[in-house]
Structure 1
Amino acid sequence: MMKKNYYQKMAFLGVLLLTLLAFQKYTETSEEAFPEVSFISENLPVEALSEFDPNDLGKNQWQKLGFSEKQTASILKYKQIVGGKFLSKEQFKKCYAVSEEKFSQLETFILLPETNSEAKGNSNFKSFEKKSLNIKRKFNPDQLSQTDWENMGFSEKQAAAILKYKSYLGGSFVSKEKFKECFIINEENYAKLEPYLILPAKTPANFNSFAGKSKTFKTRTLQTTFDPNTLDVQGWMVLGFSEKQANVIVNYRERNLKGSFKTLEDVKNCFVISAEKFEELKPFIRFNASTMAKNSGEKKSDLKQEKTDFSKTDMNSITFRQLLEFGLDEKSAGSMIGFRKKLGGFMTKEQILETYNIDKELVQKLLNMAPLDNSKVQRYTLIDAPEEWLKNHPYFKYSADKIIFYRTSNPDEKKIWKYLKTKPEYELRMRLYLK
């Protein structure tokens, strides 16, 4: 009898042990950390982007923006969950597959209202209209204007995005392969366009899209002289410059030199004309006195007054006009001044190169000679930083609410950093503006 009771107790203990082990395994599984979201490309070249409606993007287009296949699937599934359409940036940002860094990178290009309430109250807001493409004959996409793309069936914003992508490539789509990579053109539209495209199928091996121009398009051999004061953007492009470079040359002539090059030295001093390129053009440059007549009465003292010594111009005090004088276009200059204002001043030169919509090659030349004084930039601690400053600063605004909450109950900066759990690179940027 005693043996029977013993075996019953042992059997009961065995069943209890197995139950506990199974429960432990279950709880471990249920508490397993959610896999960390990472991006294929956090450093998507901004110069290749243009405004877009996220409701228009398909699987391949999201992947062209740097999202992995799994992240893309999550975004598309999330769109269906919220009703098949993103209403606002606020709603899009809540998708867990979109990190704060990625959203910050894309935010200015997203064609959506800021909030859901704004979207519902804005009856004028519309997504891109879906139109069927009207293609009648074969064509070279390099030769199409904004109006041509719109007449084909693309919206105004889509047409502008296509032209911006062409400019990013150096003024030519180069090949069908490169044309297909334009993120605003979905698979369906490319399939309709492909048979009509007059472009090589494959991209030449020596093409480098991130150089900002195509090395396969060489300068047309010059056979006649030209007046640099009569050339427009297209004229400079014929001489072998990219569209971006040609715009800089024209801006430099119109703004810095008051409408005309007066000497060969003036041409040579333009930042985007290399010494090698200048020597190639020099024998063919001819100045026409009549094109410079309007400036003939200008005093030399006036010209000197217009010139800025950029080696002594602080990047935290440089003006919009001085940036134009250096050769930047209005969009680049405005973006840089705007970003500086939001930050409260630049702390490092690397920050300046993070500015959206700038000519990085030209700005790098400016940074090589211009100083940066950050001694007057306002700094705070996480404890005493004003709430408004936290919520508006580009580096703090996504963590502002957490900082304000944690410092109320735990006024210890080390503990706040511990609770925030920010990525090391984000913390590094934030600390630039902390005491």
Structure 2
Amino acid sequence: MMRKNYYRKLAFMVTLLTILLAYQKYTSREKEPFPEVKFITSHSNSADLSNFDPNTLDKEQWQKLGFSEKQTATIMKYKDIVGGKFISKEQLKKCYAISEEKFSELKSFILLPEKTEGGNSKEFKTYGKKEIIISGKFNPDQFSANDWLKMGFSEKQAEAILKYRNYLGGSFISKEKFKECFIISPENYNKLEPYLILPTKTPTTFKNLAQNNAVKTKMQYHYFDPNQLDFEGWKAIGFSEKQAVTIINYKDRNLRGSFKSLEDLQKCFVISAEKFQEMKPYIKLQEKQQEKTDFSKTDLNTITFRQLIEFGLDERSAGSIIGFRKKLGGFINKQQILSTYNIDQDLVQKLISTAPLNPSEVPRYSLVDAPEEWLKNHPYFKYSADKIIFYRISNPDDRKIWKLLKLKPEYEERMRLYIK
């Protein structure tokens, strides 16, 4: 009898579990699993990056930075959620489609404040919540930014309203079109609508007008060399101020001053694929014909880093010579150049045999009147600077100071090169 009861209870438990599992499966079958986010961390090379504003990037440009299509869609959606604009690095970092590793890679190039002012990002969630003051009927086509400010809109909102009006061709056309301005909330539109001096409906001819405007405002290109364009030049062919700055920085910092090929230009992530194809037929990259330096007439105290490279020195040797010359204030004789650290002795010997040296502009002082800062920073004087400063207080005479210093002959000899 006990065994019979045991089997009954067991059968009941199995039946109950089966019902529960079936119910769970039924209630969850319509829930789609959240798409797996796969992070791409090696697609972009940080060496190819330059400063950028994440608010100006489109989908293709986010993908150029190394994000997948799904990640890009998530980032764009997140941007809409926070009000259509990222206002700090802190806010951007919260987007779950951007991994910690990827954010660290991009952080130093992002043109945004580190933190959101006031510690939150509510600025873009308050559109339409300010009290709107309406004094009477008005034509929004005649309103300036200041008029919108007086009505209760913020500066950014006023700017966006004017941009939208310009986009429509300089007129809101109708209440219907005015309502489509994304910056004006439905609540505020309902308040404004009775006072708007505009037709209720959009004219049927407006579509054609918009198309004509689009044709008129289409960018007119002329042949250009991207290496010759300055800030205003990039703006003139359709780039924003921030994009123009980014392109110039990319050329100067990443490419050492010039685009060598169309591929170099195409890799700049603020230039979308569509924009590049639009510009491509008009791009004329010209090889720079640099004048060759006549080293027999180039003063070793004014020779530049680029000219040293042109002569054949590597960057290390050229940098050492320029750096040592700067510390000395200039070379007095050619042997000083040969004493520079980390140089190609044979090539430098050839250089000093070819190029002249003019030491007439090199600063020289007496021990008595030499500036303290000069004494403490000059490679030949800095180890004796404190003694010189002390001795000349009671012995304002160069000959006496030299005797008191008791220097090795070779040290005194090189110091005297800079004494007048």
TM-score by length of 1: 0.47
TM-score of the two chains, using structure 2 as the length reference: 0.48
